[in-house]
Structure 1
Amino acid sequence: MINVLFSGTALVLLAFAAYWVRGRGGHRPTGAWAMAALLTSFALAFASYSPIVERAVESVVPHVARLLSNTFTLAAATSVLAFMFQLNLEADRARQQIRLRVIALALAVTGMSVFFTAEQLTHRSPVLYACYVLIYITYLGYTAKDFLQQTWAQSKRSRRRSQRIGLRVTSAGCAFALVYAGYKVFALVSIGLGLGLIPDHARCSTALTPARCAFSVTAPALAVLLITVGLTVPALLWPISRLRARRWERSSFAALEPLWNDLTAVVPEVVLDPTDATPGARAADLDFHLHRRVIEINDAVLALRPYRSLQVQKSAIGTVARRGKADTSEGGAEVEAAVLSAAVTAKRSGSTPQDEEAPPAAGTHTRKGDLHAETAWLLLVAHAYLRHRSPQRAEPIDLGTAAGS
């Protein structure tokens, strides 16, 4: 069972590494190579934990599986820092910091190899083993602590929900790495003082037995899995989130069309360069064209200010209040739709401007600059507008952007 667990996990991690190297959506994101190195190192570490691999390599060099797994773990820790540096630092400074970490990794692995070899030649001297563990745990503990602080702080600043969750899962993985580091320190003290609290020759039959295996095997395994999932799942979810965003953009663009048609029919001057809105361009740049449609609607609303009837607004407010929708977004959209419908009718019929203009809808200034919030508001208005629309509908003007998605 444990062979299947570790071997299967190693294969999954290698698949994740290939996914990062290949890139997504035609581009390779920042830190892709560092992430691939991290996942590959984790995969090799998991493979070295597998009893079948451990027996195979130790048939050549006794006890070398420990050195291999520890080396791959340190390589993964260095890759984690490299990934973080590439995200948080300028390119030149990131390269400098990564170079220093790689040098430190080489020194640590060299020191571990020297003490491992000396330990084997001296019949597994406890003192030499303690020196080996000291190098390993110092490097690993420092890296895990630093990365835990960085990921937790970034999780509080991140705007994407999937990224916040991923970073916090990664932080949990770092916490398990620190548990593992704490266990190694405990083992080091036991060996250094000759207390014999950690059996050196006992093998793990499962991930939890004997009890020390929960710290020596399960904790690092969970650390690897949580860090991998935390860093990779948000990237896997990115294409899904983009697909959902494009569907929302497409449906919003189409839903705003009736309101946009009527407003631009009476104030066509607000349309921004209709000649470049070909169907192919619209399909490729939905966010741009939705943004432009929202701007044009808002500009048309401003242009119709002289025709906004205060009387119509007060009447609509009373109607909304009787329906129990006062002080709600839906109620506000109903009022605004009634005012806009009357303004469009007045402008189209050539009526004189109102003596008393109706004030802008509530929240107009707070939504300024927030495309998502402004679009959500206009969708409510557009939906309500269809109920207030004049029976004599204006023909849409001949613009490339007048067509739906």
Structure 2
Amino acid sequence: MNGLLYPLAAALAWIALAYRLVRGLRQDRRDPSLYSVGAAFALLGIIFTVSTPAVWARIDRVVAIPNLSLLISQGCVIAFSGTIQCIIIFWTHPRPGGWRLARRRIAWVLVVLVAMTVLFTAAGRQDEHPTDAAATYAQDPVYAAYLGCYIAMVALGFTDIVRLCLPYARAAGRVWLSRGLRLTAAGAGLGLLYCVVRAATLVEGRLGTDPKRLEALVPIFAALGAMLVIVGLTLPSFGPRLSRVAAWHAQRRAYRRMYPLWEAVTVTVPEVVLDPPASPGRGILRHVDRRLRRRVVEIGDGLRQLRHQMSEPVAGRPQDAAAQILVAGLAHEAERRARFDASVAGGTAGETSRGDEPQRRARWDAWRAALPAIGLRSTTPAGAGARPTGSGVEHEDFSAEVRRLVAVARALRGSSIPAAEAADPADIGQIGSRT
């Protein structure tokens, strides 16, 4: 487990450090949080790089001091805990008071690191144990004192991190900062479980029982806790980018899902299309927000031109709205064809319109033929007009308008429109004469 989780946690820490430095140096080289958070990531990277069994053994062979990697990794854990406490203190306290509290934490870290170094040296030389050195030597009184100092300081540090993070997360005011603080607190909580396991190791060693009983839990709590802390510390930085990606995806999906309604309106009233493309597709990658708004505007403009064919404003259930739009579209097409044929017969139709009309009719006929069998009677009760469909931008809540139009588009393409008599293009004249 150490050989799998520790390299993964180390890689995540080094990646987070690189991301933080590249982004921070580009934005503000004088930002103190850039270097404090960078130091925390660097310490985590050292901890899990050194704790990886292959690296552990290589370091100890080079320096010829067995288990020196234990002192290096656990000393970095102490330093990391103090660094995180200082970061959170700077976030949550004004400058003079914050510096005073931070200096106390730093002093405690230095005292404990000196004590651990003295105890580690006094314990004498031991055999190499890259994966379970702490549990192996927990029965040694000097190692037990060393481990006790380590556990106490780490537990106090992680407790302080949880205590500082959670209250400030509730009052942070920034969504991603609040989430980051909660994730950091969760990582510190796993760190406390790591301390519990290490304390059990110490107790088992002093009682003469098996101190390795819970050793398999150590890499799980340590690595997963560190990963949560890494994500928590970087979340305020890259979280807003995730929001933008999510918004882009939602807008692109709405744009695609709105296509059946947009097609139904623009095939009937093609003049509302602001910039007719050669092939009006459903997928987009760039300028998604602008193109979504344009689609909503075009649908609204088209429906306004169909409004005189509707007995009720487009409102109510999406199925009813879809049925009304189809009825109005069929009636509008019948009127449009009758007007054009009359203008041709009277010799008033222009050459441009004569050339474009066959293509327009062919497109409309192809769209109509592709529709499922649908009813031509709207089932919207009289007086059910909750609100008319406009251009979309007239409404205060654009997102709500997009959701409503997507629902209508889904109903338009689906088979849930109230069924009456199916119509075919031959019925268009009769429909037009009834409106």
**1:120–1:69: structure 2 CA closer, same or farther, 3 Å change rule?**
closer
CA distance in 2, matches of 1:128, 1:373: 62
**Equivalent AA in structure 1 for residue 192 of structure 2:** L
1:175 to 177, 182, 189: 189
Q: Does 1:140 align with 2:158?
A: yes
CA distance in 2, matches of 1:61, 1:2: 21
Q: Does 1:222 align with 2:224?
A: yes
**1:77–1:339: structure 2 CA closer, same or farther, 3 Å change rule?**
farther
Q: Which residue of 2 aligns with 1:400?
A: none
Question: Cα RMSD (Å) of the superposition?
Answer: 5.8
- Greater shift, 337-346 or 135-144, is seen at 337-346
**1:380–1:77: structure 2 CA closer, same or farther, 3 Å change rule?**
same
Residue 249 of structure 1 contacts residue 287 of structure 1 at CA under 8 Å; is this kept in 2?
no
CA distance in 2, matches of 1:105, 1:149: 20
Q: Which residue of 2 aligns with 1:68?
A: 72
CA distance in 1, matches of 2:226, 2:406: 45
Corresponding residue SS for 1:213: coil
Q: Deviations over 1:100-134 (max 9, x none)?
A: 67545532331112212442565538667644543
Q: Which residue of 2 aligns with 1:196?
A: 206
**1:7–1:245: structure 2 CA closer, same or farther, 3 Å change rule?**
same
Q: Which residue of 2 aligns with 1:114?
A: 114
Give, in angstroms, the shift of residue 46 of structure 1: 1.0
Q: Which residue of 2 aligns with 1:334?
A: 322
CA distance in 1, matches of 2:70, 2:15: 24
Q: Which residue of 2 aligns with 1:244?
A: 249
Q: Which residue of 2 aligns with 1:381?
A: 408
Corresponding residue SS for 1:45: helix
Give, in angstroms, the shift of residue 147 of structure 1: 4.0
CA distance in 1, matches of 2:86, 2:311: 61
CA distance in 2, matches of 1:297, 1:85: 53
CA distance in 2, matches of 1:7, 1:83: 25
Give, in angstroms, the shift of residue 229 of structure 1: 6.0
Equivalent runs, 1:5-20 vs 2, <5 Å: 5-7=5-7, 9-20=9-20
Corresponding residue SS for 2:206: coil
Q: Deviations over 1:116-170 (max 9, x none)?
A: 244256553866764454333212232145446777x69xx969xxx98x98876
1:291 to 293, 302, 312: 293
**Equivalent AA in structure 1 for residue 401 of structure 2:** E
CA distance in 2, matches of 1:85, 1:336: 61
Q: Which residue of 2 aligns with 1:47?
A: 49
Residue segments in structure 1 that go unaligned for 5+ positions in a row: 203-208, 275-281, 318-326, 351-355, 393-405
CA distance in 2, matches of 1:216, 1:239: 37
Q: Which residue of 2 aligns with 1:324?
A: none
Residue segments in structure 2 that go unaligned for 5+ positions in a row: 124-141, 276-283, 340-381, 414-421, 430-435
**Equivalent AA in structure 2 for residue 10 of structure 1:** A
Q: Deviations over 1:204-238 (max 9, x none)?
A: xxxxx821424544422332244446777986977
Residue 77 of structure 1 contacts residue 144 of structure 1 at CA under 8 Å; is this kept in 2?
no
**1:69–1:296: structure 2 CA closer, same or farther, 3 Å change rule?**
same
Q: Deviations over 1:28-63 (max 9, x none)?
A: 9x9877665444332211123234444425946665
CA distance in 2, matches of 1:22, 1:219: 30
Residue 45 of structure 1 contacts residue 69 of structure 1 at CA under 8 Å; is this kept in 2?
yes
Residue 246 of structure 1 contacts residue 286 of structure 1 at CA under 8 Å; is this kept in 2?
yes
**1:389–1:309: structure 2 CA closer, same or farther, 3 Å change rule?**
farther
Residue 148 of structure 1 contacts residue 175 of structure 1 at CA under 8 Å; is this kept in 2?
no
Residue 48 of structure 1 contacts residue 69 of structure 1 at CA under 8 Å; is this kept in 2?
yes
**Equivalent AA in structure 2 for residue 13 of structure 1:** A
**1:137–1:184: structure 2 CA closer, same or farther, 3 Å change rule?**
farther
**1:112–1:100: structure 2 CA closer, same or farther, 3 Å change rule?**
same
Q: Which residue of 1 aligns with 2:367?
A: none
Residue 147 of structure 1 contacts residue 174 of structure 1 at CA under 8 Å; is this kept in 2?
no
**Equivalent AA in structure 1 for residue 157 of structure 2:** Y
TM-score, normalized by length of structure 1?
0.56
Residue 307 of structure 2 contacts residue 328 of structure 2 at CA under 8 Å; is this kept in 1?
no
**1:121–1:258: structure 2 CA closer, same or farther, 3 Å change rule?**
closer
CA distance in 2, matches of 1:335, 1:84: 58
**1:377–1:103: structure 2 CA closer, same or farther, 3 Å change rule?**
same
Counting aligned pairs with the same residue, the percent is 21
Count of aligned residue pairs for this structure pair = 337
Q: Does 1:359 align with 2:385?
A: yes
**1:378–1:218: structure 2 CA closer, same or farther, 3 Å change rule?**
closer
CA distance in 1, matches of 2:72, 2:287: 50
Residue 47 of structure 2 contacts residue 77 of structure 2 at CA under 8 Å; is this kept in 1?
yes
Corresponding residue SS for 2:386: coil
Residue 5 of structure 2 contacts residue 219 of structure 2 at CA under 8 Å; is this kept in 1?
no
Residue 256 of structure 1 contacts residue 378 of structure 1 at CA under 8 Å; is this kept in 2?
yes
CA distance in 2, matches of 1:368, 1:259: 22
